[in-house]
Structure formats: C-alpha cells, structure tokens
C-alpha cells in the first residue's frame, strides 16, 4: 500500500522565483493538506483541498496557492519567494468520513526541503 509521496525531495531557489511542489496521497485518500515546517518549529497549516477545491486556509499570504487534480494528487505553488519561505513542506492525506467531512487522522509524506537563497 503506497503511502503519501512528495517530489522533489530537495529544492534550491533564489529570492523572487516561483516553485511548485507535488504530492500524491495515500491510496484511497481524497483529501490533501499542506503544512510548512520551519527549522525547529512545529508544522503550520497552509490549506486543505477536497474535490479539487480549497476547503480551508491557514494564515498564509496569497503567494501560496494550490491545486488538486481529479486523481486527488495536489500541487503547492509559491510565488515571489522570500528567504523566510525556506522550510520543510509537508503534505498529508486523509479520507472523507461518513459525515461528509474528512476523518481526523492525517498521514504525512516525507516532505520537500525548500531552500531560498
């Protein structure tokens, strides 16, 4: 059973550039969330996608945008990169529960380490 996969593993960009990170959810999962983990900190919620729509967004600027595809995979895009965007970006997937909302257990991928120079 394939778990959550993310690509690339590492990425180096310069200030002002744009970056796209990719995530494939765990088999059978249909909801994808993205988190930013700065060095030495806990992950911070960026947004969540379900049925190709953004369901909820954390406290991140519009430079952070996303997309979910019909096969449930997802992309995170960050425009106009800042030095402070350097972090580990984590993708997590979960399954819609019987109530119509996602079940509360999220499964995380290994992350993409983004370095902005």
Binding site for other proteins (CB under 8 A): 4, 6, 31, 33, 35, 40-45, 48, 55-56, 58, 90, 92, 94, 97, 99-111
User: Helix, strand or coil for residue 66?
Assistant: strand
- Is the CB of 17 or the CB of 27 nearer to other proteins? 27
Question: Smallest gap, in angstroms, from Cβ of residue 16 to other proteins?
Answer: 28
What is the helix (H) or strand (E) element at residue 84, kind and residue range?
none
Question: Smallest gap, in angstroms, from Cβ of residue 25 to other proteins?
Answer: 13
Residue 62: which residues within 8 A CB-CB, separation 6 or more? Answer: none
**Strand 112-116 and strand 10-13: pairing?**
parallel
- Is the CB of 25 or the CB of 109 nearer to other proteins? 109
């Amino acid at each position: 059973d394939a778990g959550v996969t993310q690509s690339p593993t590492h990425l180096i960009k310069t200030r002002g550039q744009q970056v796209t990170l990719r995530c494939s959810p765990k088999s059978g999962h249909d909801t994808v969330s993205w988190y930013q983990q700065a060095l030495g900190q806990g992950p911070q919620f960026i947004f969540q996608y379900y049925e190709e729509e953004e369901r909820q967004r954390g406290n991140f600027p519009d430079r952070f945008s996303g997309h979910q595809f019909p096969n449930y995979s997802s992309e995170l895009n960050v425009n106009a990169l800042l030095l402070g965007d350097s972090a580990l970006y984590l993708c997590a997937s979960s399954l819609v529960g019987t109530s119509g909302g996602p079940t509360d257990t999220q499964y995380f991928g290994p992350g993409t380490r983004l370095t902005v120079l």
